[in-house]
Structure 1
Amino acid sequence: MKNVLSKLLGRYQRNERGIAAVEFALVSPILILLLLGGTEMGRYILVHQKAEKMAYSVSNVISQLDTVTSGDVDVIFGAVTELMNPYDNFETRGTLFLSSVHKDPADADQTIRWQCQGGGSLTANSRVGEVGSGNAAVLPGNLDLEDDDNVIVSEVVYTYQPMLTWYRIQNITIYKSAMFRPRLGALTSAPGCPTGV
């Protein structure tokens, strides 16, 4: 009996058929996880870049105008969804704030002269502040303006929803901002957009 058992075990030890299939079965979940994780990370990085480019582009375009009208703001808000394409739905997961921040020489505080929100329906608050809140505007990087200086600030707030919702990854809020000084005019007059948030 012992001889028969050792022959069977010896035959199984020498038999290497199916080893590759077993190794692949052991390694394939790890490879699939790496593939999906790499895809998700790449998508997250691209959405970050698109949000940053959106904030930069909007602030840059507005700062080049000599006056801002409600038509200009409507065109900008209509175009922001295209800046996020082909990734996700900015109309429901994002919003854009446009603010004109001015420092009056007679006042020590920086104030928001006008502010518009649009481009998407996400409920969010501007980190710069709100029109008429009585609080000083807080610029990115805690920038302090000189007297009679003005900047156009655009803020993009976007809720990133991962593809891999089964793996405890929650929605992530992406915030990007950009500032430009107006080039052709002060841009301190409200363009007729809804003020506040």
Structure 2
Amino acid sequence: MATLEKLMQWARQFRAANAGVAAVEFALILPIMLFVYVGMVEASALISVDRKVQSVSGAVGDLVARSKESITVAELNDYVKVAGGIMTPYPDENLEQIISQIFVPLNTDETPTVVWSRRYVHQAPQGTGAHAQNSDYTGLPDEIVDIARGEYVIVAESRAFYKPLYGIVFDQEIELYRENFYLPRFGGSITLQ
């Protein structure tokens, strides 16, 4: 009977003791808090890079669409170099850009075709990877095709791969891709010289 009383007394003391409870609770919650914190940092960096990729695509496409009748390859190269500043402070060595002019025929049975297209990686012109001249271009949304019947569309595409900062929450690179569509501001075609 004495043993049972001692056991009951020990149980009451254990129940009343709260020294170290906060330390135990903190130790239990710390890994979860750190995981959430690192996840938020990763997510915010990913969103920021995605917005910058969108800004690159929008800025270059808008600059090209503002050209009147023609644009030189040197001017196009300069427009693409804007991307380095927009991507700051994130790296731009894996940034790919494709700028194309697409003709949308009046006839709904015909497919839009590529007039010219240039591809850049890390702001350097590439000989391959752009859309082939006079090839069909099926990437235009129906709404853009409807608006641009008989006209030209400037398509600016940007692609980058986001590498996680820590690799704790996710450890695979994530492809970020954006494209913007612009009608030439002064109408008609923009010749690439």
**TM-score, normalised to structure 1's length?**
0.80
1:155 to 148, 154, 157: 157
Aligned to 2:140: 140
> Within 5 Å, which residues of 2 pair with 1:81-160?
81-87=84-90, 89-91=91-93, 93-103=94-104, 108-120=110-122, 130-132=131-133, 135-142=135-142, 143-144=144-145, 145-147=148-150, 149-160=151-162
The structure 1 segments of at least 4 consecutive aligned residues displaced by more than 4 Å after TM superposition are 104-107, 121-126
List alignment gaps of at least 5 residues for structure 2.
none
Instruction: Report Cα offsets for 1:139-160 as digits up to 9, x if no partner.
Output: 332442412x111110001111
Aligned to 1:75: 78
Identity level (%)? 21
Q: Distance in 2 between matches of 1:121 and 1:82?
A: 11
Q: Distance in 2 between matches of 1:70 and 1:121?
A: 13
| Alignment RMSD | 2.7
Aligned to 1:194: none
The secondary structure found in structure 2 opposite 1:52 is helix
Q: Distance in 2 between matches of 1:55 and 1:85?
A: 15
2:182 to 180, 183, 187: 180
Segment of structure 1 superposing worse, 158-167 or 101-110: 101-110
Q: Distance in 2 between matches of 1:43 and 1:59?
A: 24
**Bigger strand share:** 2
Letter in 2 for 1:95: E
Q: Tell me if structure 1 keeps the 8 A contact 2:67–2:190.
A: no
How many residues in Structure 1 have an aligned counterpart in Structure 2? 184
Judged with a 3 Å threshold, the aligned counterparts in structure 2 of structure 1 residues 53 and 136 are, in CA distance, closer, same or farther, namely: same
List alignment gaps of at least 5 residues for structure 1.
192-197
Judged with a 3 Å threshold, the aligned counterparts in structure 2 of structure 1 residues 141 and 168 are, in CA distance, closer, same or farther, namely: same
**TM-score, normalised to structure 2's length?**
0.82
Shift of 1:22: 0.3
Aligned to 1:45: 47
